[in-house]
Chain A
Amino acid sequence: MKKTMVKIHEVWLEMLMAGFMSNTRNREVLLDFSDILFRHFTWVEHALILSGVSYTYDREAIPVKVDKLSDLLHDIMQRLSTIKVEVLHFDDKELSGRIMSDIEYIISVLASMEDEVVTAFNMQRKLSDISLTQEATDALTLFLFEETYKEYELILIYNYLKAHSNNAYMNRIFQILIDESFYHLKRFGDMGAQMGILGVPRTVMKELYQVTDIVQFLEEGINEELAAKEECKKLSDAVSKDSTELAKFFDFINYQENYHIALMKDALKYYKRENNE
């Protein structure tokens, strides 16, 4: 089951990348499927926790550089077929039945999906309808790589915390932060693909999500969110001369961080009170 969780993790990300690569109505379908696969990942994780099995979020690198979307979809279908066979042997037949049924449907849709030429790796570094200076382009490039990884990291950290907590108050906050990071990850992934610099986020070191001191984690997290706000502000300033639309987007992301900080402060206060710290 542990190996299956790793495979589901990998195919979730591969599906997400396929969604970013698509420029047609396939995109929404692929992103929805990636959300389903993420849920499978959390369900299998929960089953591992119930069984007392230790695990990490380690996985292999996922090669996604293709010229045609169909090349990636074929790989995804192969991976899903392997997972389906493995899931069959799960003790929890309700869980395996659900995952298998989802996979069957997903494969049937992918098999008939219209092909697309992929431009997400051409390194053109241009956004449609927006002309940026070289300096702004470089700043945006670095920001996208940095923040795409960061959002993936946050999803895994909050997911791990949530998976190991039975506290409804804390879990509500963790879930909001997971949802917010998914939104940011999808927007930054879309921009990375448009710019032709799409990359799969690197694996996250286990020290980051296997949090031993939640107070320290939240305090450092608040500081990181403040730093992220600064980065958004810098980027908004860097692109504002060339595109008010893009500057507005980064201001919008910047303001969203305020609520994340408020939530993390709330979690910190609650946790300290509950644990008499």
Chain B
Amino acid sequence: MSVDAQLIEHMMNPKNYGTLDDANTQGMGKNPENGEKVAIYMLVANDEDNPYVAEVRFQAIGCTTTVVAGSMLTEEVQGLNFQGVYDLVEATMGFLDKLPPEDAACSEMVALAIKAAVDTYKERIVDPDYPMITYKIANSCTPKEEAS
């Protein structure tokens, strides 16, 4: 990861880090290779039947890159309606092949956790007891030169 002032700010003060007591949905992104994971806690509100992300928090078992990705993406997701969230997730996934493998895995984990939270919310409209959805990442955290 190249280090600039914006990244350092996210490392020093990760935005939206922690849990959310009044969250009404959660999602998880997981790296099956090493057990790293990102949990998203989200409060979804409704604006004339158009649900949107009113508040979001995240926690991570992972590296600093994951925390930076979580800090940046949760800032972006705040206030978006569901279509906006899916667009953001898709844009992030489309950007992954331009990142170093370990950074791609971290960003994917956060993006999928956000998607999982929204999908969990939608499932719970039908079944309030629907369990939290967990998505597993496809990218490997291992840098290419080390993988053999």
Binding-face segment, A95-103, A170-178, A197-205, A269-277 = A197-205
Instruction: Report whether over half of chain A's contact residues are helix, strand or loop; otherwise say mixed.
Output: loop
Contacts A203-B59, A205-B61, A208-B61: A197 and B12 contacting too (C-beta < 8 A)?
Answer: yes
Contacts A202-B17, A205-B39: A142 and B12 contacting too (C-beta < 8 A)?
Answer: no
The closest CB in chain B to the CB of A207 belongs to B61
Report if B1 contacts A (CB, 8 A). Answer: yes
Tell me, in angstroms, the Cα distance from A58 to B1 when the chains sit together: 29
Report if B63 contacts A (CB, 8 A). Answer: yes
Are A145 and B11 interface neighbours, CB within 8 A?
yes
Q: Within the complex, what minimum Cβ distance (angstroms) separates A93 from chain B?
A: 32
Tell me, in angstroms, the Cα distance from A142 to B4 when the chains sit together: 11
Report if B126 contacts A (CB, 8 A). Answer: no
Mark interface residues in A187-222 (1 if CB within 8 Å of B CB, else 0).
Answer: 000000000011100110101100000000000000
Mark interface residues in B1-33 (1 if CB within 8 Å of A CB, else 0).
Answer: 111010010011110011100000000000000
Task: Give which listed residue, A138, A198, A207, contacts B12 with CB less than 8 A.
Answer: A198
Are B19 and A197 interface neighbours, CB within 8 A?
no
Q: B60: which A residues are within 8 A, CB to CB?
A: 205
Which of A137, A149, A199 lies at the interface centre, i.e. has the most chain B CB atoms within 10 A of its CB?
A199
Report if A4 contacts B (CB, 8 A). Answer: no
Which of B8, B18, B60 lies at the interface centre, i.e. has the most chain A CB atoms within 10 A of its CB?
B8
Are A65 and B17 interface neighbours, CB within 8 A?
no
Tell me, in angstroms, the Cα distance from A186 to B18 when the chains sit together: 24
Q: Within the complex, what minimum Cβ distance (angstroms) separates A78 from chain B?
A: 21
Report if A240 contacts B (CB, 8 A). Answer: no
Report if A160 contacts B (CB, 8 A). Answer: no
Q: How many residues of A contact B (CB 8 A)?
A: 22
Q: B5: which A residues are within 8 A, CB to CB?
A: 123
Q: A60: which B residues are within 8 A, CB to CB?
A: 18
Are A61 and B18 interface neighbours, CB within 8 A?
yes
Report if B140 contacts A (CB, 8 A). Answer: no
Q: A121: which B residues are within 8 A, CB to CB?
A: 12
Q: Within the complex, what minimum Cβ distance (angstroms) separates A14 from chain B?
A: 14
Which of A138, A205, A207 lies at the interface centre, i.e. has the most chain B CB atoms within 10 A of its CB?
A205
| A-B contacts, 15 listed (Cβ < 8 Å) | A61-B13, A65-B13, A123-B5, A141-B3, A141-B8, A141-B11, A142-B3, A145-B11, A146-B64, A198-B12, A199-B11, A202-B14, A202-B17, A202-B67, A203-B17
Tell me the A residues contacting B by CB distance below 8 Å.
58, 60-61, 65, 121, 123, 125, 137-138, 141-142, 145-146, 149, 197-199, 202-203, 205, 207-208
